[in-house]
Structure 1
Amino acid sequence: MSQAPRNTDHTELVLEVGPVAHGGHCVARHEGRVVFVRHAIPGEKVRVRLTDDGAAAKFWRADVVEVLEASPDRVEHFWDLADSGRSWSHRHPPVGGAELGHISLERQRSLKAEVLAEQLKRLAGVEHPLEGGPSVEAVGGATGESGAQTRAGLGWRTRAGFAVTPSGKLGMHAHRSDAVLPVREMPLAVDGINALRLWELDLQGIERVEVAVPSNGSRPLVLLVPAPGTRAKRLSAILHQLPDDVSVASFDPVKGEVLQLRGRTFVQEAAAGHDYRVTGDGFWQIHRDAPETLVGAVTGFLHDGGFLAPGSVVADLYAGAGLFTAPLADTVGVTGSVLSVEGSPGASRDARKNLHDFAQVEIVQGRVERVLRQKPRNFDALVLDPPRAGAGKAVVEQLMSAGPRAIAYVSCDPASFARDLGYFQQGGWELSGLRAFDLYPHTHHMETVALLTPQGSNH
């Protein structure tokens, strides 16, 4: 249901908010057309501003500008710049990255569980993946219950990326927009990132800034992505605005090179009893507790199911810097073997440095499908941690043909995971275990770890 728009420069509607949908929005309808509404909660009545309403579009997009009938799960947003109503009252869109900050953490997790269940049912035909349905687990004590919502779920990001305003100030993009808004805090980031006070820098000549502050207290890294034609003198000027104990590097996106300006071109991370070097543009889980959480879930599924033991033959696919490879090598020991496959040359180089003490680990840089063709072997188990787009049908079929007794699948996107699960089911495999983690509080993202096994196997 909806009411007619007010007389404004931009179309506004009053909508009854329907169910949550994948992607950080809820579904509403206006005269039969679907409207994807951000910053709402199912059951609310809200006034929205249309942000994408082309006449030929199959659906529209909108932001909440006023809450007329609030959900009991609505709380005051912790960040003015990400609060939709406040932002539009100041005539600009909200920044992205905290689109669920108006919802209690407990309800955030229940909504994410609904999304996961809906994707599994719609894309994989899985009605009840676990008894009682999937739940999303809090991580790092961020429960948000008993009145602790005000600060809970904040300060977890050890990595953050920023845009730069035309005047050279630190900024962030609004959702699906080229607009860059200046920022003077990042409440989701660990204290070490905010302590750098990057918003005080003159960043003229820079297109993007990436910062990593390892949770183990090792040296932070600021990675600058200069605009074309920016001179070395400009980079040097920025370098001298930062504390001496901060590593600074620049990234050439054309050549894919990280260039040293001061200190290291990498950060030193730690997880599961191992140290990991991660080059400036390399991947590492951004939540401070994510590495330990995910390693525990993966090894728990494989070890407890009897798929991982001394002497086992396993592979870590899309292995990155080796987060899962090292714990796998610990378990299989010198009598076992671990094949580590990673497509990114930089991440693969990091893995070689991180894993050079493990004689049982073979590191291969290349596409997963190509490497598996070149190095066929009988695996006891596989660990699969693909990018957001998932593995895809061709890779899934290759994995099944490799004959493992189990696969631990780590996913950051419920839609691509559910699609791939459907491919596994078509090949005679089934979902034997599933855990979901709220590693991105106040955003719509979640992480899942699944145990997949051949149907009818004893596990």
Structure 2
Amino acid sequence: MSPPRRPRARQQRGRSHVGERFEAEVGPVAHGGHCVARVPTGSAGDETRVVFVRHALPGERVVVEITEGTEGDRFWRGDAVEIVSPSPDRVAPPCPYAGPGLCGGCDFQHVSLAAQRGLKAEVVREQLRRLARLDVEVTVEPVPGDQEGLGWRTRQRYVTLPDGGRGMRKHRSHEVVPVDECLLESAVGPSYEVRGTSFAVADGGFWQVHPGAPEALVGAVLEALAPRPGEAALDLYAGVGLFSRFLLDAVGAGHAGGRVCAVEGDAAAVRLARRNCPGLRATAGDVGAVLATEYDEPFDLVVLDPPRVGAKRKVVEQVVDRRPRAVAYVACDPAALARDVAIFGEHGYRLVSLRAFDLFPMTHHVECVALLEKTGSDLR
């Protein structure tokens, strides 16, 4: 999961409404860890403004305090500071630092775990409907390795305070809330062993923070692609070779035609991928730039595991040019996934299956593995 982006300084567009309070009915969940509500803005109550509300649940009636918003903005942001009519899915947050004006690390501590997964599934469905014009059933699956949604972050960063204490930042802010501990933090560090194979990872290098994530994602990708001996696979945004290692086993690097090639932007990760995956041909560089000049032969299989912004059109169209029979797309952002699925659709690739995993409990983040295949293929 990429680190959270800091908000840009926003130009004032008229009178500020920050601090104003409105009672409102909460609408559907939206991408980003909030729900949609409308508050009256006209003097006669006949005008409304969309507000993205944190710490709320669909169907609740709440008092919203505006945290960002001026007269000229299309929408405002706010916190549910009072719950007038609670949802049956509302629970007491286990962490004392979760709530309006406090730590911004968790979006859904006030929601039961089952309901959190339902909200995430609805966000994935909505993004696919809106951006890819697809109606897909989505179930967010729990993953072993957390304790009722807590204790899963095997890597954690705090802000060091002047007095030597530690803190966490507020939502969309540089302000820091002092904390004694984060309940998401695991008591143990990351394990770099998957399916009996140990991986070399640089200090501070990327590795999934949920202890159950590597096994869940490897299993989903291999199940989706069903690699065969002798096939050629291309692993894009390959990191230290998590998927490449098991693809090599499946296609048989020593088998006639069997090969795996990888592209990764971090040169240090590429060096480790070569160590982790004997027989791997790996190139360091921007994926789009590398594909423009290398690996231009056909591939049977492609794994895409891009950063939060997704692969985007340039990379998707270069993947399509390799004419793979199947593409496994690992996505940490539902909107980027849906956009790229739509681009694949323009080139005759359809979404065959999608699995979603709750790798980031108590937050709005969700990981998906989508399988795309060429329309009309008789390979499945």
Counterpart CA distance in 2 for 1:9 and 1:56 is 13
Matched residue type, 2:76: W
Match of 1:21 among 27, 30, 37: 30
Matched residue type, 1:11: E
**CA positional deviation for 1:134:** 1.1
Task: Say which SS state the counterpart of residue 324 (structure 1) adopts.
Answer: helix
Counterpart CA distance in 1 for 2:59 and 2:102 is 22
Q: TM-score, normalised by structure 1?
A: 0.75
Matched residue type, 2:109: G
Task: Say which SS state the counterpart of residue 118 (structure 1) adopts.
Answer: helix
Q: TM-score, normalised by structure 2?
A: 0.90
Cα RMSD for the two superposed structures: 1.5
Does the 8 Å contact 2:145/2:210 carry over to 1?
Answer: no
Does the 8 Å contact 2:64/2:81 carry over to 1?
Answer: yes
Q: Does residue 1:156 correspond to 2:152, yes or no?
A: yes
Unaligned runs of 5+ in 1: 1-7, 85-92, 143-150, 193-212, 216-268
Matched residue type, 2:22: L
Counterpart CA distance in 1 for 2:144 and 2:314 is 36
Identity %: 49
- The aligned runs of 1:107-122 (5 Å cut-off) are 107-122=115-130
- The aligned runs of 1:23-422 (5 Å cut-off) are 23-31=32-40, 32-84=48-100, 93-127=101-135, 129=136, 133-140=137-144, 152-192=148-188, 213-215=189-191, 269-303=192-226, 308-333=227-252, 334-335=254-255, 336-355=258-277, 358-359=278-279, 361-372=280-291, 373-422=293-342
Matched residue type, 1:368: V
Task: Say which SS state the counterpart of residue 382 (structure 1) adopts.
Answer: strand
Task: Say which SS state the counterpart of residue 35 (structure 1) adopts.
Answer: strand
Task: Say which SS state the counterpart of residue 116 (structure 2) adopts.
Answer: helix
Give per-residue Cα distances to partners, 1:1-39, cap 9 Å, x unaligned.
xxxxxxx99322211111000000000001211000001
**CA positional deviation for 1:158:** 0.9
Counterpart CA distance in 1 for 2:177 and 2:229 is 53
Does the 8 Å contact 2:145/2:212 carry over to 1?
Answer: no
Does the 8 Å contact 1:164/1:180 carry over to 2?
Answer: no
Does the 8 Å contact 2:18/2:68 carry over to 1?
Answer: no
Counterpart CA distance in 2 for 1:113 and 1:10 is 32
- In the alignment, what sits opposite 1:226? none
- Residues 115, 53 of structure 1: CA spacing in aligned structure 2 closer, same or farther, 3 A cutoff? same
Give per-residue Cα distances to partners, 1:76-133, cap 9 Å, x unaligned.
101011133xxxxxxxx11122110100011111111111110000000002x2xxx1
Give per-residue Cα distances to partners, 1:112-161, cap 9 Å, x unaligned.
1111110000000002x2xxx1111111176xxxxxxxx61111111112
- In the alignment, what sits opposite 1:248? none
> Which shifted more, 435-444 or 164-173?
164-173
Q: Does residue 1:437 correspond to 2:357, yes or no?
A: yes
- Residues 444, 375 of structure 1: CA spacing in aligned structure 2 closer, same or farther, 3 A cutoff? same
